[in-house]
Amino acid sequence: MSVPSSAFSFLFTSFCVFFTLSGTSSCLAIHANTTRPHRQLSVNYYAKSCPQLEQLVGSVTSQQFKVSPVSGPATIRLLFHDCFVGGCDASILIASKPGSKQLVEKDAEDNRELKVEGFETVRKAKELVERKCPGVVSCADILVIAARDYVHLAGGPYYQVKKGRWDGKISTASRVASNIPRANSTVDQLIKLFNSKGLTTQDLVALSGAHTIGFAHCKHFVARLYSYRGKAQPDPNMDPKLLHALRMYCPNFGGNSDIVAPFDATTPFIFDHAYYANLQKKMGLLASDQALALDPRTRPIAQDLAKDKQKFFQAFVAAMDKMSLVKVVRGKRHGEKRRDCSMHT
């Protein structure tokens, strides 16, 4: 089934809404190198040098959200993938040079499903900002602002973001695999990875709540439907009705590789706390999602956030702030201010 990038094909089941997106799905795994206080970063960093910055970026994100709602989860996921690999330095946006054998982060296997809408959001915002404030604002800051905008546009909290990042000078595909969570990651693996970024178990569970919007291709959860952990049985920790619905669109072999399912089967377009309530009902899509409701270290946190949307919003904002400060680049020695986010200066 062929669908324009800005459109969705809706297929309703008792629990799920499935979507075929042109290109690949936004399997929004939560991805956030150690966070430290950054005196140079501030909410008002561009108050004098580019006072209209947030309005400029906001004009792009609001339009993109109307035209192509998938831009939201795509951009949030893009930020996670950027921050978790070498820090929040926009290295994920660098494109390979023609003819070069050096693969950049964007080319890594784990990043090939990153939706073009996320990259397009930053590109369009950067072009607009450059016309008003040339050579001033980093791509890294624009990505952080855009992700915040989409959280709010989808019904989530609006929060102030610290600015003053520079763009990184290094982008290599080889750094990606060991720093990105997997759809079947265990809680042990997730906690270890998040801790390596200076993020706590609380942050892990809160940031996982970004799966309240976004979608995943069948290949990321098909094993749960037919042969979980190598056994010829589905995952016992999946709701039977959800299992039946997913099997309708995700056969064990073959099938349409463009079919995706929402992480949150109940309110897939709304940034709310339903994701956590779904986990209590065994309705998590990925094994790494459902694991949060099973492990004694994460279960109480997930249960707590399922009960109170405002508590989730507060935890999410705090965790996003910490994640956005992971290994921030500062100054010309280690950083750059790109005019084109896909090219080093």
User: Which residues are part of a known binding site for heme b?
Assistant: 211
Annotated binding site for substrate: 181
Annotated binding site: 82, 85, 87, 89, 91, 105, 181, 211-212, 264, 267, 272
Strand 215-217 versus strand 259-262 pairing type = antiparallel
Q: Report d(CA 225, CA 228) in Å as an integer.
A: 7
The answer to whether 197 touches 326, Cβ cutoff 8 Å, is: yes
Polymer length in residues for the chain: 345
Alpha helices in the chain (DSSP H): 53-67, 71-84, 116-132, 139-153, 187-196, 201-208, 222-226, 240-249, 274-280, 287-290, 299-307, 309-323
Q: Which amino acid is it at 104?
A: V
Catalytic residue among 31, 38, 81, 220: 81
Return the HEC string of 122-151. Answer: HHHHHHHHHHHCCCCCCHHHHHHHHHHHHH
Closest C-alpha among 11, 58, 17 to residue 267: 17
Q: Report d(CA 241, CA 42) in Å as an integer.
A: 48
Q: Report d(CA 51, CA 166) in Å as an integer.
A: 18
Q: Which residue has the tokens 């904002």?
A: 317
Q: Tell me the Cα Rg of the chain.
A: 19
**How far is residue 86 CA from its own chain's centroid?**
16
Closest C-alpha among 166, 27, 174 to residue 106: 174
Looking at residue 17, the DSSP 8-state letter turns out to be E
- Would you call 81 a catalytic residue per the annotation? yes
Alpha helices in 154-230 (DSSP H): 187-196, 201-208, 222-226
Catalytic residues: 81
